[in-house]
Structure 1
Amino acid sequence: MRGLKKQRRIQIVIVATLALALSAGLIGYAMRDGINFFRPPSEIIANPPPPTEVFRIGGLVEDGTLIRGEGETIRFSVTDGGASIPVTYTGILPDLFGEGEGMVGTGRLVDGTFIATEILARHDEQYMPAELIDALEAQGVYRHAEGDPES
């Protein structure tokens, strides 16, 4: 009887360990495309990612580069003050999107052009992702306004 209880405990521990390993593997598999790294244009120019890698780019929409009217495709450049990357996006842009405004896009870099699948615009004057603020501050383009909390 005693050996049977010990054997049953060992079986339970083995099954629990296998279930934990399987669930960790499934979570990792599900997140493989869900983790997008943010990169400013200067970093992309210095170290271009492969065309298969999905990542986020952020910066300011460069003045004079926004081209509409080519069907649903919109072309513009995003800059962090140190470098500029051309972007194409097919779809409807957010209402607050415009030249000189902050944006974050998700997509891939193909032949030097960022092909965006999603574009986000900041929703008011105060909001900007922390990574974007850090990148723009490093380039000397952005300063916190008086009364703004530092990130």
Structure 2
Amino acid sequence: MAGLKTRKKQRLVVASLAVSAIAGAILLVIFALGGDSLSLFLQPSDVQQKQIVAGKRFRLGGLVAMGSFGRESDDLTYRFTVTDCAADIPVRFRGLLPDLFREGQGVVTEGALTADGVFIADTVLAKHDENYAPPGTMPKNAEACTHPEGLSDYEAETGR
């Protein structure tokens, strides 16, 4: 009978360690995903509504505004504006832009705001244009981007 008690104790110890490890992993995942980190990115109108403080890192997503792209004198620093058709945020990025980056296309940038409201990006991801757009990837205020003819800014500029 003594061996049976030892085996029961071993099972109890192993089971309690397994339950504790699973509970710890669940708590760690909940802690890591808590708060605003669940959203993939903020759009310019979200940034203005939430009044994001300068220096806080986040992802900014939207469309590259038509006519806003420019290169600074060092040829490695770019400036452009990210818009969701209701609000605009100027962006500065130093580095190499992705091949798919262009005005009128979707973009997700990662970085922080400065005190004067310029978003300094250290990462730029371009989203390619397709007919299918998953829910939540187009600007929330897409109707504000349409022209009287019913075309979006991008369609009006490119004729597509």
Q: Which category describes the TM-score, using the shorter chain as reference length?
A: 0.7 to 0.9
Contact 2:42 2:61 in 1 (8 A): yes
* Whole-Å separation in 1 of the counterparts to 2:39 and 2:14: 38
| 1:48 to 1:95, Cα distance in 2 relative to 1, 3 A | same
Structure 1 stretch 82-91 or stretch 69-78: which is displaced more? 69-78
1:33-44 alignment runs, 5 A limit: 37-44=40-47
Q: Which residue of 1 aligns with 2:69?
A: 66
Letter of the 1:49 counterpart: I
Determine helix, strand or coil for the equivalent of 1:100. coil
Determine helix, strand or coil for the equivalent of 1:135. coil
Determine helix, strand or coil for the equivalent of 1:5. helix
Letter of the 1:47 counterpart: K
Structure 1 stretch 55-64 or stretch 38-47: which is displaced more? 55-64
Give per-residue Cα distances to partners, 1:65-115, cap 9 Å, x unaligned: 212033211111111111110111111112232222222212222221212
Contact 1:36 1:54 in 2 (8 A): no
Pick the aligned partner of 1:135 from 132, 140, 154.
140
Letter of the 2:67 counterpart: G
| 1:55 to 1:98, Cα distance in 2 relative to 1, 3 A | same
Pick the aligned partner of 2:80 from 69, 72, 76.
76
Structure 1, unaligned runs of 5 or more: 146-151
- TM-score under structure 1 length normalisation: 0.73
Contact 1:36 1:56 in 2 (8 A): no
| 1:120 to 1:48, Cα distance in 2 relative to 1, 3 A | same
Larger radius of gyration: 2
* Whole-Å separation in 1 of the counterparts to 2:151 and 2:67: 25
**What percentage of residue pairs aligned between the two structures are identical?**
36
Letter of the 1:63 counterpart: M
Matched, 1:54 2:53: no
Structure 2, unaligned runs of 5 or more: 153-160
* Whole-Å separation in 1 of the counterparts to 2:48 and 2:109: 16
Q: Which residue of 1 aligns with 2:13?
A: 11
Letter of the 1:61 counterpart: V
Contact 1:37 1:55 in 2 (8 A): no
Contact 1:39 1:55 in 2 (8 A): yes
- TM-score under structure 2 length normalisation: 0.69
